[in-house]
Structures are given as C-alpha cells and as structure tokens.
Amino acid sequence: MNELAALSKTFEQVLEELELPKEPRLLYEPVSYTINNGGKRMRPLLVLLGCKIFSEDISQALHPSVAIEMFHNFTLVHDDIMDRAPLRRGKPSVYQKWNDNVAILSGDAMMVKSYQSLVQTRKEVLAEVLDIFNLTALEVCEGQQHDMDFEERDDVSISEYLEMIRLKTAVLLAASLKLGAVIGGTSEENAQKLYVFGLNAGIAFQLQDDILDVYGETAKVGKQKGGDIIANKQTYLLIKAKELATKKQTSELNSWLNGSISGSEKVEAVTALYQELNVRELAEAEMWKYFNRGLESLKQVQGSENWKNILEQFATNLMHRES
Amino acid sequence: MNELAALSKTFEQVLEELELPKEPRLLYEPVSYTINNGGKRMRPLLVLLGCKIFSEDISQALHPSVAIEMFHNFTLVHDDIMDRAPLRRGKPSVYQKWNDNVAILSGDAMMVKSYQSLVQTRKEVLAEVLDIFNLTALEVCEGQQHDMDFEERDDVSISEYLEMIRLKTAVLLAASLKLGAVIGGTSEENAQKLYVFGLNAGIAFQLQDDILDVYGETAKVGKQKGGDIIANKQTYLLIKAKELATKKQTSELNSWLNGSISGSEKVEAVTALYQELNVRELAEAEMWKYFNRGLESLKQVQGSENWKNILEQFATNLMHRES
C-alpha cells in the first residue's frame, strides 16, 4: 500500500495549495472547515488511480482530483441541511455550526470552486472531462431527490432503491475513475470499463454501509448503531425485510416503524426480524454480486497491471472494512 | 429595436429546446417553473450582443446565453430562500411554492444545467469561457454574502455598498458581455473594454433599482413602493442619508428604522428625510457617473458600430425605465 499512501500524500499537498480567499469570512470559512474535516478521500484517490493505470504522469489529474473531493463535500454540506443531520464526521455540520443560509451559500461556492479545479487539466480532454462531470453532478442531484422522495413512501422496491444508490453514490465513484482514465489518455472503451467497475463497486460499498449501520462495530462506525433503523431509513435491509415478511411479521415490523418506542429496544426488535428473514445474508450476497461484477469489468481494462492490482486491493479493503 | 427583438426571439427558441428530464419531478419541475417565469432576459441578450459586435455568426453563443440565464435564475432561487422572499416576478418563489429542500436541490441542479449549456461552444475558447464564468460565479456568491453581512451592520459605507453591488449584480452583466465577445473571437483588450462597460452599467442599473424602489411608478414596479425602506434595506439612498444627516436627522432616521411604525407612514417619513438631504439627486448623479464611465469604455471597443449602437440603446433604455 506504499503507492496508495504516496498518492494520498500527493493529493493532500495539492489540496493544501488550494487558494481560498479570507473574505467574506462566512462564505469561505465553512469551505475550509468542510474540506479539511478529513474524510477517507476515496474519490480523489480513485481519480489518481484511474489515471495511473494509463499514465505514470498524473500531474494533469491532480486538480481534477481536488475538484471531485470539493464536489463531494459540497453535496454533504447541502445534504446535511436537507436531512437535518447535525453531525458530519463527528463534528457539527455546516448548517449546525453556522446556519442554513451559510450552508447554502458556502455550498454553492464549493460547487464553483470544484469547477475551478476541474478545468485545470490538459486542454485536449477538457470538453470530455466537463461532460462526464456535469452528467454525474446532475445524477447525484437526482439521487438525492429520489432519496428524499423515498422518505414519503413506504412502497419503495429493491430495484428503485438500487437505482437511487446508483445515482446518489455510485456514479460519482465511477466518474472519478473515468475522469482519471480520460486524463490519463486511454480509449473510450477502457475508460468505460473502469466506469462500470466503479459503478458496481460503488453500489456494493453502499450496501456495505447499510449492513454496517446495523452490524458494524459501534466504536468504529462512529455513530449510533442501528441509526438507520431508528430513523426508519429506507435501506436494502428494511426494503428486503418488508418484501419477505409474512403477514404477522409485517404487522410486527410496522408496529416498530410506526410506534413510539425507539432507541436500542427498537433496534434489537427490528434486528431480530432481520435475522428471522435472513436479510443480512441476502444483502451480503447482493453486495458481493455487484462487487464481483465490477471486478470482471476491471479485469478487461487494458492498462498497467500493477496499478489495476493496487486499485483492486484498495476496493477490496473497503469491502472488508468493519465500520 | 428590430435586431434586439430578433435576438430575443432566437434566445427564447434555444431556451425552449433545452431538454429537462421529467423525473424526479420535484427536482426538475422547479427548474422549468423558474426559467419559464419570464424575466427581462437581460443577461442572455448581453451575451448575444457581445458576440454580435465581433461576429455576425452567434451560433456558438446561443447555449452560453442559456447558461447565463440559468445561472442567474439559480442565484434567484437560492437567494429567495436566504432572504425569505416569498414572491418572485409576481409568483411564489420556489421555496414558497414547494419548500426549502426543493429550492436548495433544484437550485443546485440549475447550476449544473448552466455548466452543461456553457460548454456547448467552440473548443478553442472553452477554457477561457469557463475561467470567466467560474470567477464571476464565485464573485456573485461573495456579493450575496456581503449583502447578508450588511443586514447585521449599521455602519456600511458607500464604498462597501458599491463593492457589494459590483459583486452581486454588475459582474454577471459584465461577464455576459465578455463571454459573448470572447466567443465572437475578439481580442482580450476589446473583451475587457466591453466588460468594463458592463460593470459600470451594471452598477448604474442597481443604483437605478434603489431609486425606483422609492420613486418609481408603483404600478410598474410590481411591488410595494418603498419596500426597501420598510425592510430597512441598506441601499445607496439610506447609506448616503446616514452619512449626511445632522445629529437631529440621524436620531429621527433611527427612530423610524428601529421603531414599530411601518408601512406607508414610515415610507413617507423616510422619503421626506431623503428629500431634506437631497439623496435622490446624489444617487442619480452617482448612477449617471457610472453609466457614462461605462459608455466611455464602450466607445473604445473596436467592432461593429451598428451593434455597439444597439447595445448602447438597449442599456440607455434600461436607464430610463420607470420601474
């Protein structure tokens, strides 16, 4: 993992060099607060890895990798307002620390900043880079809208759910790899295969998130265990459980979803139902199906086998994370 | 004005062809609601006029002109949330018709849509077009933040106010012209002179807005006469009045600003103070100073004299509007 650590270090250096004006303070302070609040930096690493597979020189992918991380953080800032999520990575989210207006406007500024970083790449690929980014950005908005729409519904199907996480989460991971690949100078075919890998791996990661929320190690998860259950959040596990439940189980599940008892008692009861219905295993099977489908696509990419392996290892480690 | 009407028609046709997905409905319906809600279309016309001065062929400026109008409308959607402005062009603003979340997210989608339209121009100028647009978009965010900051202060100076309206309003008008000019293939020098015209005219237009809010013909203004006075909004008139007021006038002004009496009584009283202090005339003088400074810059532009005249006439008509 030395190569990955080196890429990571390079990214952090480029990020540090990013110029942010000091004034107006309420516009730019939340930007640094957010972008310097850690995070796994998964997406910028995918940009750089996508580039490395086709080109040793990643200089033209550096600013675009910052763009992707900035864009991702912009979505978090706005999503946190919409979801009323007071915490982000263990610290107050922007709207909570300041207010909604500050979060709206500094989020907007982050979106523009991400375009400013994105265009700092070689001219020959600029139009394609922008097309990929714009399409993806719009899809991410669509995914967030679907997610919010789901809160008002209790008849979301598994296929609708998978489409939502494809848009909300997976396309940005896929586009990160594809942007790197295009900047690295590869063919449309290779770039697309890498995209398909990222898309399937991204869906697998989100399914993993759903599973870890219930079954992860609390200390590492860094948030309340079973938070999705407490919030009645539509997840693969809940939707699958609803799909498979007998009449009796459905009525029991509904009594927990609509009832007034929450906290660990609710989590334990719903988890017991999940166990009866075997939904953890079903979710894990679905997750690995997507991940392996992704790996199949990665195998077909014509590029540096060394960097392909590093990417595969990076993704596989994410699949085996415990929080 | 036949040429202008023709440009306007062309713009509306290109806008009509803009493809907006139907789903998710709550993401895209507010976009069409906003973009089809009229407006003067001043900015896209400036893009097309800026191009016409240097090139009869404006095909490469059409989508960018849609981009500018889309971006402007995005700022309105988000600003209306921040300013809690329930009406926009006589209809409920997006957050009012739907809710804050819908306005945040559909605004975000409008920003991305504007980039999608912006990049539909000729490759040779793409990087420059993006640089101008990104810089301007960020400045507009800064202007909005300054405007919000001013609400918390009672010591805003005239020069701070002018800087705020430069950022919040004028740079987008200036950039519209400059984008058209760059796409039209002119030199950096000409493009910059057109920018300087737009910047000064833009400041003049905003000063005109401040004046019309108090002295415009109510029917045409389409909003409550003296709305700025009622809302204690920082305008050129109010700041200038504070600057010039004697101790006695200051205390009278403050009693109205901090008092509980509002509506037409407050408007009349503050307007009477404005009259004592001559601030309308001072604002008009400032406005014409900026406008004429802009015209000086326009004169130096090397391009079609016919289209320069049309642009000058267009801007002059805006200066003589009564609402």
Touching check for B115 and chain A: CB below 8 Å?
yes
Judged by DSSP in three states, A262 sits in: coil
Looking at residue A38, its pLDDT comes to 83
Scanning the structure block, which residue is given the tokens 């992704």?
A294
- Position B220 scores a pLDDT of 54
Mean pLDDT of the region A118-128: 97
Q: Is the pLDDT of residue A301 over 60?
A: yes
Q: Which fold has domain B2-317?
A: Farnesyl Diphosphate Synthase (1.10.600)
d(CA A31, CA A94): 9
- Using an 8 Å CB-CB cutoff, list chain A residues near B144: 105
Q: Does residue A221 register a pLDDT over 70?
A: no
For A284-289, what is the mean pLDDT?
98
Q: Which residues of chain B have pLDDT under 50?
A: 221
Query: Among partner residues B119, B145, B149, which is closest to A127 by beta-carbon distance?
Result: B119
Query: Which B-chain residues 133-152 have CB contacts (< 8 A) with chain A?
Result: 134, 137-138, 141-142, 144-146, 148-149
Q: Which residue of B lies nearest to A21 if distances are taken between CA atoms?
A: B142
Q: What is the pLDDT of residue B219?
A: 52
Strand partners, A92: A87
pLDDT for res A218: 66
Q: What are phi and psi of A199, to 5 degrees?
A: -65, -45
| Candidates A81, A109, A148; nearest CB to B138 | A109
pLDDT score, position A225: 80
Put simply, whether the predicted model's pTM sits higher than 0.80 gets the answer yes
Mean pLDDT to the nearest integer, A167-178: 98
Can you tell me the distance from the alpha carbon of A299 to that of A197, in angstroms, rounded to the nearest whole number?
Answer: 9
Helices (H), B233-304: 236-244, 247-258, 263-277, 279-299
The pLDDT tens digits for A50-69 are 999 999 999 999 999 999 99
Residue A31 contacts residue A74 (beta carbons within 8 Å): no
Cβ of B272: how many Cβ atoms within 10 Å?
11
What's residue B118's pLDDT? Answer: 98
> Cα-Cα-Cα-Cα dihedral of A99, B100, B12, B176, to 10°?
0
**What letter does residue A71 receive in the DSSP assignment?**
H
Residues 6+ apart with CB under 8 A from A121: A60, A61, A63, A64, A129, A183
Taking Cα atoms as reference points, which of B33, B42, B37, B35 lies closest to residue B8? B42
Pairing, β B91-92 against β A91-92: unpaired
pLDDT confidence of residue B305? 98
- pLDDT computed for residue B304 by the predictor: 98
For the stretch B63-104, pLDDT in tens is 999 999 999 999 999 999 999 999 998 899 999 999 999 999
Q: What is the CA radius of gyration of chain B?
A: 20
Distance (Å, rounded) from C-alpha A124 to C-alpha A131? 13
CB-based contact (8 Å) between B167 and chain A?
Answer: no
- Chain B contact for A100 (CB, 8 A cutoff): yes
Say which CATH superfamily domain A2-319 falls into: Farnesyl Diphosphate Synthase (1.10.600.10)
pLDDT for position A219: 53
Asked if B145 lies within 8 A of A24 by C-beta distance, the reply is yes
Angle between helices A158-165 and A188-215 (to 10 degrees): 120
* Pick from B203, B257, B254, B249: nearest CA to B229: B257
Distance (Å) from the alpha carbon of B247 to chain A's nearest alpha carbon: 32
Residues in chain B: 323
Are B40 and B72 spatial neighbours (Cβ–Cβ below 8 Å)?
no
Block residue for tokens 């809010």: B213
Q: Does A72 touch chain B (CB under 8 A)?
A: no
Assess A295–B contact: CB distance below 8 Å, yes or no. no
Predicted confidence (pLDDT) at residue A89 exceeds the cutoff of 60: yes
Cβ density class B197-231: b for 16+ within 10 Å, e for less: bbbbbbbbbbbbbbbbbbbbeeeebeeebbebbbe
Candidates A2, A17, A110, A11; CA nearest to A59 is A11
Closest chain B residue to A99, measured at CA:
B82
The tokens describing B119, both together, are: 């990049």
pLDDT at residue A180, rounded to an integer:
98
- pLDDT, position A19: 87
Close Cβ partners of A170 (under 8 Å, ≥ 6 residues apart): A198, A199, A200, A201, A202, A203, A205, A206
Q: What is the pLDDT of residues A190-216, one digit of tens each?
A: 999 999 999 999 999 999 999 999 998
The pLDDT of residue A261 is above 90? no
